[in-house]
Amino acid sequence: METGIFQARNRNADLTGTGSKPAQELNKLDRLRAFFHSGSLIAILDIIRSPIFLVPIFILHATLGWIVVDGLLVILAIAVLRQHFTREYDARATQVSDAIGTLKDQIGGSRSVIRVHEMTPAFIDRWLAARKDSRDRAIELKDWDAWFEIVSKHLAMLLQYALLAAGAYLAIKGDLSIGTMEPAYRSC
């Protein structure tokens, strides 16, 4: 798909003489891919939602509230570790992406030279190699992000089960009614 976009855009730029860079559509493709693979919108909603439900849990029982606070602190620690461990992978992915930007500028500025010297196939091979390296680095970064996301989701599930188990224990002890166990579990 990228080769087709690259060749068509290069051909159209030469025919129209507009001087636009042939790889601008690939930038749009990269931005679209990054948007769909981003989990930032979900994370923002989770950050807003968690404190809202913390107060009612403390109202139901202080022990349940502290279990949730401890769980949220552990999840926050995982998020900090995620930022620490993925920083290097993110830097490498950015560096390779910048190299693609350099290639885009080169073809934009010397399109006629590349065509006259019949370097288009070699430049396309160079372009595709850079794109492959960029994809590989992005996948590597995404793999680490996915690992931390899975750990976070499992910890969130563990937090829910711990809250339910503590609610059951408090209900057996008589400190909490069975009817309040369910809202506490649902609000986590």
Q: What is the pLDDT of residue 113?
A: 64
The tokens 């830097």 sit on which residue? Answer: 91
Q: Tens of pLDDT along 142-178?
A: 888 888 889 988 998 998 889 888 888 988 898 888 7
Q: Tens of pLDDT along 70-113?
A: 988 898 888 888 888 888 888 888 788 777 777 777 666 666 66
- CATH of 40-187 among 3.90.1150.10, 3.40.50.10540, 3.90.340.10, 1.20.1560.10: 1.20.1560.10
What residue spans define the domains of the chain?
40-187
Q: Are 57 and 64 in contact (CB under 8 A)?
A: yes
Alpha-carbon distance of 17 to 91, in angstroms, equals 36
Q: 160 phi and psi, to 5 degrees?
A: -65, -45
Report how far apart the first and last C-alpha atoms of the chain are (Å, whole number): 44
The CA–CA distances, whole Å, from 49 to 46, 54, 72 equal 5, 9, 12
